[in-house]
Amino acid sequence: MCHLILKSDTNTTDYWIGLFLMNETGEAEWTWIDGKPLSYKNWLDVEPNGSGECGRIAVNDTWRDTECSSTISHFKHDIYFLCKKENDDASGAASYVNMHATIIVLLLSLSLV
């Protein structure tokens, strides 16, 4: 299992999390960048409020919808993959990441074959 993470040394507090509002079937539906539907939601109480087609996470870990053009600036940060073997202890990986990054946001999980 690998996780795509975003490392930022800036004061940015909101990050795009790979969430899009798709409208391919005639009905708007929030999906992950890989096309999978949401199985977990953490929207702020008043969100999504129709202010955009991209989902972002704020400093308090709640989600907000926003215009996709406002999230593009967040791609100026370094992008990494953090992988762990099936039998590895997840806390060891988290400790390594915490030592080497100021802010880390989990964007999406990828199963690599």
Residue-by-residue pLDDT tens, the chain, 113 positions: 455 555 554 555 677 788 888 876 667 889 888 888 888 899 999 999 988 888 888 777 889 998 877 654 444 445 454 455 555 555 555 555 555 443 444 433 333 33
pTM of this prediction? 0.53
Is the CATH number 3.10.100 carried by domain 2-110? yes
Mark residue 18 as left, alpha or beta (left: phi above 0; alpha: psi -120 to 50; beta: remaining): left
Domains of the chain, by residue range, sit at 2-110
Residue 38 has what pLDDT? 86
Residue 19 has what pLDDT? 85
CA distance to 30, 77, 90, 113, per residue, from 105 (Å): 19, 11, 16, 23
Q: Determine the Cα–Cα distance for residues 88 and 82; give it in Å rounded to an integer.
A: 12
